[in-house]
Amino acid sequence: MNIKKFLLVFILALMLTNVVTLFLLNRANNNQADYESIEEIDVNSPVAVINGEEIFYNEWMQYLEVRYGELGLEELIDRQVVSQLAEQEGLSVQPGVIDYELAMLATLAGQLPEQKVEQIEANWRRDIEHQILTDMLLSSDISITDEEVGAYYDRYQSEYEFSQRIELSHIVVDDQATADRVYGELENGAAFSALAREYTIDEDSSDHGGYLGFFTSTSSFLPEGYFDRALDLDEFSYTEPFSTYQGYVIVYLHRELPSIQLGFNELETYIRVKLAMEQVGDRASVKPLWQELNVDWIY
């Protein structure tokens, strides 16, 4: 009975993590993420109602335990095995490499709500570190020469130079009076995205709440003045209205991602593992690593 309760708790945690991950991947493909729809679950309320018939949280969890319990527990064991073996062997990941992977993922995932950014990026950071440590363990028997690592670095070095990026939305209106009205509503607590849908004359971004995406200082598609004005803002804040060739504009800064430049010393192990994993292939499994630890589970 205790084992079942233990499993149920872990399956719930895994399921919630997978929901976030699937949501991230879906939004990354569309260059925008809407995490505002992910809310805390009330275990005392129905999770679904079908023509008056209710499905409750406990029914849902029991179904997940029966259908996906083994797979979920296996993934949790994989994570613990990798963590313990990495610690035993003194493996670690360069912080700069994690920062780089996180920055790249952030640009793919797109817009995140202010209140969830810290939590989501912390999860990403753990997942990135886990994956790289997993690759280190799975490829430990494969020999990659210093010459191969050096050649790869010389060829792809520029790909590991991440330029500073800012994530922007905007509202464009025809005249100063409308811009002042929109600004006043923002100051009174109105949501930027809602006002963009209502007021902006930019048809390309109106359906996305004014969202534009990430830009560098050299981005050719970013209107003049946006980048410099945004740099004066705190994250998740907006400019006062200003005049442009489009009309009157209010720019919103979501996030600023700093530049990252990784040198050979930071990348050497990462490249070696990357090249080794190309030989291992995509179907590598953590399961053989279980034999190095005392794993006892219910399946």
The answer to whether residue 243 scores a pLDDT higher than 50 is: yes
Provide the percentage of residues in the chain whose pLDDT is more than 90. Answer: 70
The answer to whether residue 34 scores a pLDDT higher than 70 is: no
pTM: 0.78
pLDDT digits 0-9 by tens, 257-284: 999 999 999 999 999 999 999 999 877 8
Nearest 5°: CA angle at 111, between 107 and 115? 120
Contacts of 297 (CB under 8 A, 6+ apart): 73, 74, 77
In whole numbers, what is the pLDDT of the chain averaged over residues?
87
CA 38 to CA 40: how far, in whole Å? 7
φ, ψ at 220 (rounded to 5°): -75, -20
Closest Cα partner for 39 from 126, 115, 118? Answer: 115
Instruction: Provide the pLDDT for residue 138.
Output: 96
- Two structure tokens written together for 158: 């520029």
Q: Are 279 and 194 in contact (CB under 8 A)?
A: no
Q: Structurally, what CATH architecture does the domain formed by 164-257 represent?
A: Roll (3.10)
Q: Structural domain boundaries of the chain?
A: 2-159+261-292, 164-257
Band (2; pLDDT cuts 50, 70, 90):
very low
The single-letter code of the amino acid at 204 is: D
